[in-house]
Amino acid sequence: MSAVRTERYVEESRRGIADPVLRRALSGLQERFGRGTAEAYRRLPEGPGLRQTAHAIREKAIANLDLLLERLAARIRANGGEVFFAATGEEAVSYCAGIARRRGVKLAVKGKSMVTEEIGLNSVLAAQGVEVVETDLGEYIIQLAGESPSHIIAPAIHKTRNEVADLFARKLGIPYTTDPPRLTQAARRALREKFLAADMGISGVNLACAETGHISTVSNEGNIRMATTLPPVHVAFMGLERIVARLDEYEIILRLLCRGASVQDIGTYVSLIGGPRRPGESDGPEEFHLVVVDNGRSRLLADPRFREMLCCIRCAACLNVCPVYGRIGGHAYGFAYSGPVGAVVTPLLTGVQRGRDLCRGETLCGACKDACSMDIDLPRMLLELRAILAAGDATWGVKPEGGLERNVWRIWAGLVSHPGLYERLLRAGAVLQGLLPRGVAGWIRRLPPPLSGWTQSRDFPPLAKAPFRSRWARRRREVGRG
Amino acid sequence: MTVKKSVTLFVPCLVDAFRPEAAEAVVTVFERLGIAVEYPPGQTCCGQPAFNAGYREEARRAARHFLRLFADCETIVAPSGSCVAMVRHHVPTLFEHEPRWRELARRTAARTFEFTEYLVDVLGAEDLGASFAARVTYHDSCHLLRGLRVQEQPRRLLRRVKGLEFVEMKNADCCCGFGGAFSVKYPDISSALVADKVAWIQQSGAEAVVGGDLGCLLNIEGALRRKELPLRVLHIAQVLAGGCPPAGGPGP
């Protein structure tokens, strides 16, 4: 598993907020892709309701995962491929490392893959002397910079053109230029050599189809096709949930994936791969391996509250509309997955207790649900996670919230179910607030902890001298007299 | 749908405590339309704050109090999108395993309306005879927009107000960063969000910003007051009641 830093959400989000370059980049991204995706859904020939159809397709697939994965594996094996079911990230990584050792792999080229990011594949391969080269341009940039992706689809969104120019001049030895076509050309030249020399190609899987026995990859740079056809070995990694039953269902999910990810009707390169090169074929690897990764996913499958999360295809449309992601950036989420999908899936995969700020640090604005290509109710699951954190949950290893917070809510519940007491407290508050420092129009400048967070940047409204309840009573008395 | 002769008013806790004028304005609007307003005493909260924080047993206690109070009401109207979304969508799920409460929750959910939704969709009233001389922009609160799908109704109402010039701000549908307890627990993120909202409001050239949820409005106004900006922040009911003296005291 790659490093988990979910405990640092608050500090890291502060760092993201303080970065005006990041803010401009994310604001541009959200304006283009966020609005664009909504429009792309509206323009679907079947109408935006296709997202609900897709949701039903995914739910059905998740309910039949065992059968679908068995069918997929049988087809791939019949075609001469190998399939390995990995219970943990470590198992998945060591399976791949084993192939690399057996084949004496020195250089591996990689297509963009979130699941390999999740299980920390690169560092393990590197430790045994394999040079792993990311070939997606964005991933290549952050690999050269020694950073981690900050967006699922646009991993280098946090880097400026000038930073990339600097980086390429240093690492690729090219003359300094900020011209994007020249920079892209430089990356292409460097990567082409790697593609031709690689002993292993590694990819993720956007979606598999059980009926046909294919995995499928989507890219706009053609790099995944090169990485999966040129080297003699191809190892593909998929989360165990990335499958649908039939080809017609695959087509619907694929179209929504491309709209959600990049506002396209279809990605530039869509590959369907069902095994290694067959006799008489000119392209393709000698060996093909599919690694099906569980790594905590079956715990989601077992819990009806969170099973819906397995419908996710990681298109990242939710990142492109999330107001919180748009301010704090992807690194704040402390793991491979960022934005609303990260806020739900990361705690479930890496620990709810340590990821509690991810579960609570959202506004529940609901924009992610509307943007989701699979119509997943992310806010519902954030609420479920918060309920687990409050009440405790043995399955997820969470102890009930104790102490002050719990007592505050208990007292609150008592007050709101005893109107007499509630009203007296309201009146007392209206008097006591006179002690607090005031700003313009009687608004309060500073509140004591635990409410001081509000007045960090805002004034707090004063309680009305008379709440509506007493104004209403007065009004009724006056009407009665009149 | 036929026009109801009376409505029962649910005044959410924030309106009651911080902006009673908004609830008075709701009363004024209904009375002008010839609709009697009931206000059952003893109202407190729908349970949303506890629910959003994950404290479901505490939310259930609040929700039971709410349901008991409004059990026999035919039509309930509240000047808040998020409280109505709570009553309509979440309270029934809170009682999933308590059939008697669940039935009451569902019945209540079907009878509860947000103020502008009720005016436009149920009463078919758009021109309320109000006047309000100012350039006004509208903030879509998240739960009113995405929870109840109320987007056009408030805009149509505002466009019929005499003297009011309606301007759209950029990203009117973007969250203001309130989020209940979120605004206090994650003040850095919340502040970043409201700072952008305030900038968009200013860029619109509006003299007043109007919305349908007091949580958002207090958040936005809090940021404006801190910066000592002179913009007015009003609940939409306060604008729709403009032009005749609101009940029980000086106008907004």
**Domain range summary for chain B, segments of one domain joined by +:** 6-121, 127-240
Residues 92-131 of B with CB under 8 A from A: none
Interface test with B, best of A370, A468, A479 (most B CBs within 10 A): A468
Q: Can you list the positions of beta strands (E) in A260-416?
A: 269-273, 287-293
ipTM over 0.85: yes
Confidence at B249, pLDDT banded by 50, 70, 90? very low
Cβ of residue B192 closer than 8 Å to a chain A Cβ:
yes
Interface test with A, best of B37, B145, B175 (most A CBs within 10 A): B175
Chain A residues with beta carbon closer than 8 angstroms to that of B143: 366
Q: What DSSP string describes A198-210?
A: -SEEEE--SEEET
pLDDT at A1: 76
Per the structure block, which two tokens stand in for B75?
Answer: 């039509």
pLDDT at B250: 38
CB atoms within 10 A of CB B111: 16
Cβ pair A327:B189 closer than 8 A: yes
Do residues B225 and A441 touch, judged by C-beta distance below 8 A?
Answer: yes
For the stretch B119-132, pLDDT in tens is 999 999 999 999 99
Q: Characterise A177 by phi-psi region: left (phi > 0), alpha (psi -120 to 50), beta (else).
A: beta
**Cα angle value A240/A246/A249 (rounded, 5°):** 90
Per the structure block, which two tokens stand in for A470?
Answer: 């007493």
Cβ pair B177:A363 closer than 8 A: yes
Cβ pair A417:B61 closer than 8 A: yes
Segments in chain B forming alpha helices (H): 13-18, 20-32, 48-53, 56-70, 81-85, 91-94, 99-111, 115-117, 142, 152-159, 182-185, 187-204, 214-226, 236-240
Q: Characterise A331 by phi-psi region: left (phi > 0), alpha (psi -120 to 50), beta (else).
A: alpha
Residues 6+ apart with CB under 8 A from A418: none
All structural domains of chain A, each given as residue ranges with its CATH number in brackets, are 6-298 (3.40.50.10420), 403-481 (no CATH)
* DSSP reduced 3-state for B95: coil
Which of A104-118, A239-253, A394-408, B212-226 shows the lowest mean pLDDT across its residues? A394-408
- Give strand pairing partners of A54: none
CATH class of B127-240: alpha beta
pLDDT at A254: 98
In this complex, the residue of A17, A363, A387 whose CB is nearest that of residue B54 is A387
Cβ pair A365:B142 closer than 8 A: yes
Half-sphere exposure of A116 toward its Cβ, with a 13 Å CA cutoff?
Answer: 30
Q: What burial letters (b/e) apply to B153-191, b meaning 16+ CB within 10 Å?
A: bbbebbeebeebbeeebebbbbbbbbbbbbbbbbbbbbb
Cβ of residue B47 closer than 8 Å to a chain A Cβ:
yes
Q: For chain A, what is the mean pLDDT? A: 96
Q: What number is the average pLDDT over the span A353-358?
A: 97
Task: Round to whole Å and give the CA distance between B8 and A341.
Answer: 40
Is the confidence at residue B1, as pLDDT, over 60? no
pLDDT at B3: 52
| Shortest alpha-carbon distance between residue A191 and chain B (Å) | 39
Chain A residues with beta carbon closer than 8 angstroms to that of B193: 323-324, 327, 363
For the stretch B21-63, pLDDT in tens is 999 999 999 999 999 999 999 999 999 999 999 999 999 999 9
Confidence at A459, pLDDT banded by 50, 70, 90? very high
Q: What number is the average pLDDT over the span B233-252?
A: 70
Cβ of residue B197 closer than 8 Å to a chain A Cβ:
no
Cβ pair B54:A385 closer than 8 A: yes
Residues 6+ apart with CB under 8 A from A105: A99, A130, A199, A200, A233
pLDDT at A295: 98
- Give strand pairing partners of A86: A293
Per the structure block, which two tokens stand in for A4?
Answer: 């988990």
Q: What number is the average pLDDT over the span B212-230?
A: 97
Is the confidence at residue B251, as pLDDT, over 50? no
Interface test with B, best of A13, A365, A475, A478 (most B CBs within 10 A): A365
Cβ pair B20:A471 closer than 8 A: yes
Q: Nearest 10 degrees: CA dihedral of B171, B175, B177, B181?
A: 170
Measuring CA to CA, how many Å separate B209 from each of A159, B24, B205, B231, B240? 36, 19, 10, 7, 13
- Give strand pairing partners of B166: B136
* DSSP reduced 3-state for A184: helix
**Cα angle value A312/A318/A319 (rounded, 5°):** 120
| Shortest alpha-carbon distance between residue B183 and chain A (Å) | 6
Task: Round to whole Å and give the CA distance between A185 and A25.
Answer: 23
pLDDT at B200: 98
Cβ of residue B43 closer than 8 Å to a chain A Cβ:
yes
In this complex, the residue of B11, B61, B248 whose CB is nearest that of residue A413 is B61
Chain A residues with beta carbon closer than 8 angstroms to that of B43: 419, 469
| Shortest alpha-carbon distance between residue B62 and chain A (Å) | 6
Q: Characterise A339 by phi-psi region: left (phi > 0), alpha (psi -120 to 50), beta (else).
A: left
Measuring CA to CA, how many Å separate A13 from each of A175, A318, A327, A458, B186? 35, 18, 8, 19, 10
Cβ pair A468:B11 closer than 8 A: yes
Q: Are strands A287-293 and A82-86 parallel, antiparallel or unpaired?
A: parallel
Task: Round to whole Å and give the CA distance between A322 and A330.
Answer: 11
Interface test with A, best of B28, B45, B55 (most A CBs within 10 A): B55
Q: What is the DSSP letter of B121?
A: I
Q: What number is the average pLDDT over the span A280-292?
A: 95
* DSSP reduced 3-state for A237: strand
Task: Read off φ and ψ for residue A342, nearest 5 degrees.
Answer: -65, -40
Cβ of residue A385 closer than 8 Å to a chain B Cβ:
yes
| Shortest alpha-carbon distance between residue A300 and chain B (Å) | 19
Do residues A141 and A165 touch, judged by C-beta distance below 8 A?
Answer: no
Q: What number is the average pLDDT over the span A184-189?
A: 96
Do residues B199 and B191 touch, judged by C-beta distance below 8 A?
Answer: no
Per the structure block, which two tokens stand in for A113?
Answer: 């893959």
Q: What DSSP string describes A441-463?
A: GG-BS---TTSTTGGGTS-BPPP
Is the confidence at residue A461, as pLDDT, over 70? yes
Measuring CA to CA, how many Å separate A172 from each of A142, A178, A360, B62? 14, 14, 42, 63
CATH class of B6-121: alpha beta
| Shortest alpha-carbon distance between residue A408 and chain B (Å) | 10
In this complex, the residue of B23, B193, B247 whose CB is nearest that of residue A323 is B193
Measuring CA to CA, how many Å separate B135 from each of B130, B190, B220, B225, B228? 15, 27, 17, 19, 19
What is the identity of the amino acid at A377?
Answer: D
Which of A209-218, A400-409, B82-91 shows the lowest mean pLDDT across its residues? A400-409
Chain B residues with beta carbon closer than 8 angstroms to that of A468: 11, 15-16, 20, 23-24
What is the identity of the amino acid at A472?
Answer: W
pLDDT at A475: 87
For the stretch A16-25, pLDDT in tens is 999 999 999 9
